[in-house]
């Protein structure tokens, strides 16, 4: 869960809410509206712009403030789900709405499904809505949305550049400390050539069959196709025309040939970025990949290879089905059918 990012935002909402009592919607949801009667009143057919902050205890679950853009949607109370038909039926620009939803009711509605690990009984999910603007036409709403997205992209671009500079410095310090020599790729990956290999240079028409092990800078492996514990021990095809790998791989593979062995030092911006990957790769984490180019083939060879693999998998499935049939017949006391 995300920690609070802005004490000022929380305090402003909390202070305004202190003197306003909670009401109870028909389904039992608690809510309060901190009204701003001076703002324009929304009517059906308007497009509502609002910031949303969702909290649980002392943590933030979601925030448009953090994302950098408010939500914009059609104001149509007739089609709002309960209890929002009741809660949002008479609101103005500038209003703040606080909705408290019991975790007990959420858990009850989702029986049979595993609840989020952080959610406990007897607590509340609290949503803070602030109506920031309204638009009378879809064209106005779309235009505002484009402006917000452009602002987000600009912010993300600035942050990405700053992160890339930070990552490069970290990797270069690591290389210097360990007396390693690596070449910086066109996009920013660092490549240590351990064995140059043979043959022609890789181009966009090449398909590389690659063995790899990915690990953190602390040396902890998170994926490998040479370690059987990761359960996929076979060369991985990388089509340079449409590579389905992290950008740092593409940057590094361009420098290799058949038989090459290399170590890629990949900055987070060319890896899994600010989101990371599952629980194994942290946000903004730099990565190391040990790479061995088993073979370099063309697209025709790749198609033949994939066809052969598919045939082998089908043959294996048929064999398993036959074995299952024989075992079932033996259980039933019948003779196996060898037709």
- Write the pLDDT tens digit of every residue in 161-187: 899 999 999 999 999 999 999 999 999
Confidence of residue 303 (pLDDT cuts 50, 70, 90): confident
User: Is 70 exceeded by the pLDDT of residue 133?
Assistant: yes
210-213 long-range contacts (CB < 8 A, ≥24 apart) are 210/235, 210/236, 210/237, 210/238, 210/253, 210/291, 210/292, 210/293, 210/294, 211/235, 211/236, 211/291, 211/292, 211/294, 212/236, 212/289, 212/290, 212/291, 212/292, 213/289, 213/290
Closest CA to 283 of 172, 160, 178, 157: 160
CB half-sphere exposure, 27, CA atoms < 13 A: 16
Confidence of residue 338 (pLDDT cuts 50, 70, 90): low
Domains by residue range for the chain, with CATH? 2-148 (3.10.50.40), 165-300 (3.10.50.40)
Confidence of residue 335 (pLDDT cuts 50, 70, 90): low
DSSP at 271: T
Confidence of residue 5 (pLDDT cuts 50, 70, 90): very low
In this structure, what token pair is assigned to residue 206? Answer: 């090449």
User: Percentage of residues in the chain with pLDDT exceeding 90?
Assistant: 58
List helix spans (H) across 92-193. Answer: 103-109, 138-177
Closest CA to 238 of 265, 268, 278, 211: 211
Q: What is the residue whose two structure tokens read 């990797």? A: 171
pLDDT at 177: 97
**Mean pLDDT for the stretch of residues 125-131:** 95
Q: Which residue has the higher pLDDT, 9 or 146?
A: 146
CA–CA gap between residue 54 and residue 60 (Å, rounded): 6
List, in sequence order, every beta strand (DSSP E) within the chain.
Answer: 2-3, 23-24, 30-34, 47-56, 59-63, 71-74, 96-102, 124-135, 183-184, 190-195, 207-216, 221-224, 236-239, 261-266, 287-297
DSSP at 92: B
User: Percentage of residues in the chain with pLDDT exceeding 70?
Assistant: 92
User: Is 70 exceeded by the pLDDT of residue 2?
Assistant: no
167, 286 Cβ separation under 8 angstroms: yes
Q: How far apart are the first and last CA of the chain?
A: 59
* pLDDT, mean over the chain: 88
Q: Angle 264-268-271 (CA atoms, 0-180°, nearest 5)?
A: 65
Lowest mean pLDDT among 69-78, 237-246, 284-293, 317-326: 317-326
What are the tens digits of pLDDT across the range 106-119?
888 777 677 777 88
Lowest mean pLDDT among 220-224, 279-283, 290-294: 279-283
């Amino acid at each position: 869960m995300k920690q609070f990012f802005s004490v000022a935002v929380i305090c402003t909402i909390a202070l305004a809410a202190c003197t306003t009592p909670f009401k109870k919607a028909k389904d039992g949801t608690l809510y309060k509206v901190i009204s701003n009667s001076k703002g324009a009143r929304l009517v059906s057919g308007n497009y509502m712009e609002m910031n949303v902050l969702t909290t649980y205890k002392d943590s933030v679950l979601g925030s448009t403030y953090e994302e950098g853009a408010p939500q914009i949607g059609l104001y149509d109370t007739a089609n709002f789900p309960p209890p929002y038909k009741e809660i949002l039926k008479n609101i103005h620009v500038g209003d703040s709405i606080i909705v408290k939803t019991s975790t007990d009711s959420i858990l009850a509605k989702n029986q049979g499904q595993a609840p989020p690990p952080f959610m406990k009984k007897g607590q509340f999910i609290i949503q803070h809505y602030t109506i920031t603007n309204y638009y009378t036409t879809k064209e106005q709403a779309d235009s505002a949305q484009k402006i917000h997205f452009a602002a987000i992209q600009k912010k993300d671009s600035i942050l990405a550049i700053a992160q890339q500079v930070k990552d490069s410095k970290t990797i270069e310090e690591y290389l210097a400390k360990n007396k390693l020599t690596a070449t910086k790729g066109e996009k920013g990956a660092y490549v240590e050539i351990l064995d140059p290999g043979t043959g022609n240079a890789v181009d966009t028409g090449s398909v590389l069959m690659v063995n790899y092990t990915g690990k953190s800078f602390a040396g902890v492996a998170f994926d490998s196709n040479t370690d059987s514990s990761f359960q996929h021990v076979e060369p991985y095809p990388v089509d340079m025309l449409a590579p389905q790998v992290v950008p740092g791989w593409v940057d590094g593979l361009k420098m290799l040939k058949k038989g090459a062995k290399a170590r890629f030092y990949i900055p987070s911006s060319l890896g899994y970025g600010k989101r990371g990957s599952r629980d194994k790769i942290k946000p903004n984490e730099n990565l190391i990949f040990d790479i061995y180019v088993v073979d370099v083939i063309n697209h025709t060879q790749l198609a033949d290879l994939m066809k052969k693999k598919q045939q082998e998998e089908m043959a294996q499935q048929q064999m398993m089905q036959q074995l299952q049939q024989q075992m079932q017949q033996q259980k039933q006391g019948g003779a196996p059918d060898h037709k």
